[in-house]
Structure 1
Amino acid sequence: MQRTDLIPQKFRQGAERMAQAFRDLDQVIVAAHVNPDGDAAGAVAAAGHVLRSMGKEFMVYAQPGLPGYLDFFSMPGVVHTTLEHPPFKPRCAVLLDCGEPDRLGRELAARLPELVTVNIDHHLGGDGMGNAANWVEPTAAATAQLMAYVALAADLPLTGELATAIALGIITDTGGFCHGNTSADVLYLTAHMVEHGCDIALLRERLENTWSRGRLTLWGQLLQRARLERAGSVCFCPVFLEDLRKCSALKEDLEGFVEQLRRLRGVHVAAVLREDSPSSCKFSLRSYGSIDVRAAAARLGGGGHRNAAGGTLRADMESAGAQLLAAIAEELDAEGVA
């Protein structure tokens, strides 16, 4: 069997096109969206491994760095948090898990006009921001899944640190293989990597056994604060900057919290609104099944996936909360959900 035989037919053309695009690059910035999660980090790492196998010079860029819960994760190079003193003069960029320049951060976004760019993403909402090549595939569960197919098209075995990077992204964006995007393609790809030595159980352990005391305290307080709206079909929880300070917690300690609210019986949509400043808030939405929280997020300028979405609101917490709950209610009404 050739390695490309592991690529599902519907992804094969895109994977081969991206592998060729990578071959045409050099002096490359490899980056994803700001505040990278596991899929962003895994996709960036996988792209770095592919570029290294091709003999390309690259640098890993992450703003403002990787979150603490990924301290165990090995990247294929130093993680640069600024472009002020790059190890070479960048000529190209591979942009991952992100479809809008603003989500790359101001520093990298400002450099895009002078770079040859390739964009790989699995979010709905656009055709890509690369000026050389784009592969936007919303049917993929994770950008790391797409990078697995690029690696296979480049004739790389999915083993070792490359497999770990891909598995990290898949675990993150499928909710540990629990979300509706856990397709047969995802399971087949994961089974292949496990068969060739990828330790999923160890990776899950390293991801989950990382809580700080501050995170435990914060979650306890927030679970008491969470409230039900719309006759129990929506669970909403605001998170203030003061909460983080009092609990000695970080923003990244909220990772996974919104999923817990979705577990409450009768809840169709879970929503967390986090204060970033007195006039700016970020929201995260989760749902099950056919309920489209991406559409609710889009009403507020956000985006994401059908069952997982988010965005930013330029407003204080009171106003942002009212806007968010109104957008959720409008979408549930449009879908005929009580």
Structure 2
Amino acid sequence: MPQTELIPAHFRDGACRMAAALRDVDRVLVSGHVNPDGDAVGSLAAAGHILRSLGKEFILYSSTGLPQYLQFFPLPGTVHTSLEHLPFTPRCALLLDCGEPHRLGRELAQRLPGLTSLNIDHHLGGDGMGSLANWVDPEAAATAQLMAYVALAAGLPLKNELACAVALGIITDTGGLCHGNTSANIFSLCARLVEDGCDLTGLRERLENTWSMGRMRLWGRLMERARLERNGEVAFCPVLLEDLRQCRALKEDLEGFVEQLRRLGGVRVAALLREDAPQLCKFSLRSYGDTDVRATAAALGGGGHLNAAGGTLRLRSEQAAEVLLAAINAQLAKEDGLSGETR
């Protein structure tokens, strides 16, 4: 039986709509964004457990595979990295934690128009890209939170592997229950997970005890390189391809570094700029309170949340740094009611 009374009123309609939609589909391809983080992986796993409980056939897919630091996490099936030679032909795609087709990877983005699709996401920026049903709710701290409510609407208890999948997404996207998006609803959900036997502390420990020496060396180098801009209000650090090579580190080893920059006293915006190719850079932005880094990211073609956003700049690292810092400065000036000059 559905457990809708356990779903906060704000989320109840969306959860019931998506649970009903999942009952009407089969042979489902489940995917999140490329280079998945803990929320994307947790949502992927949660979806698999829900679909299995509903008696549906499903395939888990990620063109870039799972990051090394999440290899320990148990999934309800093999994660396919190619759409060739699948065990069945998908009839529907369940798209999670992603609001833009290109972030699904080229192979899936090209096949998407031929599939019925459902989209569950918590990022600002649109109404969803699902052709059958969408649930995009920026009030959720994580897409895994929404998946928990879908499970309850489908009458499934939040226990065992499903509970751990939800917990993984929540821990990741709330910074271990420390970020500003850690609402009363999140604490209530976590309390239920723990009451039903989810080892939240143990999962957090597993996530933290995965560092390599390459990651340690990389973080040490970047700590030395980080600098303050705008009279200490902006912490900025560029990362070059050569840094990864010399430290024997992976791109995923940067996970969490921009949050460390935000710890500096007086910093309103933390910015990390990662060189992915000679003329391709990815940026990550973090802030506190009402400082809107999503607006900065959107001005540069990216997106995200109020306090966590990012995007891509097709520029050399030096040019990208100038463009990014100028956009951050312009947004802070706007928020301060200034003319655009640094304070």
- TM-score, length basis structure 2: 0.97
Q: Pairwise mapping of residues 274-293 of structure 1 onto structure 2 (< 5 A)?
A: 274-293=274-293
2:340 paired residue number: none
**Quick one: which amino acid aligns to residue 301 of structure 1?**
G
- 1:57 partnered with 2:57: yes
CA offset digits 1:207-261 (Å, max 9, x no partner): 0000000000000000000010000100000000000000000000000000000
1:2 Cα deviation after fit: 6.5
Q: Distance in 2 between matches of 1:84 and 1:325?
A: 42
Distance 1:274 1:188, change over 3 A: same
1:60 Cα deviation after fit: 0.2
The two structures, once aligned, show a CA RMSD in angstroms of 1.0
**Quick one: which amino acid aligns to residue 306 of structure 1?**
L
**Quick one: which amino acid aligns to residue 331 of structure 1?**
Q
1:178 paired residue number: 178
Helix, strand or coil for the counterpart of 2:310? strand
CA offset digits 1:272-319 (Å, max 9, x no partner): 000000010000000011101001100100000011000011111011
- 1:167 partnered with 2:173: no
**Quick one: which amino acid aligns to residue 302 of structure 1?**
G
- 1:6 partnered with 2:40: no
Q: Distance in 2 between matches of 1:24 and 1:301?
A: 36
- 1:32 partnered with 2:32: yes
Aligned-pair identity in percent equals 71
Q: Pairwise mapping of residues 1-338 of structure 1 onto structure 2 (< 5 A)?
A: 3-336=3-336, 338=343
The unaligned stretches of length 5 or more in structure 2 are 338-342
- Report runs of 4+ in structure 1 exceeding 6 Å deviation: none
- TM-score, length basis structure 1: 0.99
Q: Distance in 1 between matches of 2:2 and 2:31?
A: 30
1:63 Cα deviation after fit: 2.1
Helix, strand or coil for the counterpart of 1:238? strand
How many aligned positions are there? Answer: 338
Q: Distance in 1 between matches of 2:217 and 2:287?
A: 25
Q: Distance in 2 between matches of 1:3 and 1:118?
A: 22
Q: Distance in 1 between matches of 2:139 and 2:334?
A: 24
CA offset digits 1:167-202 (Å, max 9, x no partner): 000010101111110000000001001001000110
Q: Distance in 2 between matches of 1:2 and 1:212?
A: 43
**Quick one: which amino acid aligns to residue 200 of structure 1?**
L
Helix, strand or coil for the counterpart of 1:13? helix
The unaligned stretches of length 5 or more in structure 1 are none
Q: Distance in 1 between matches of 2:256 and 2:222?
A: 13
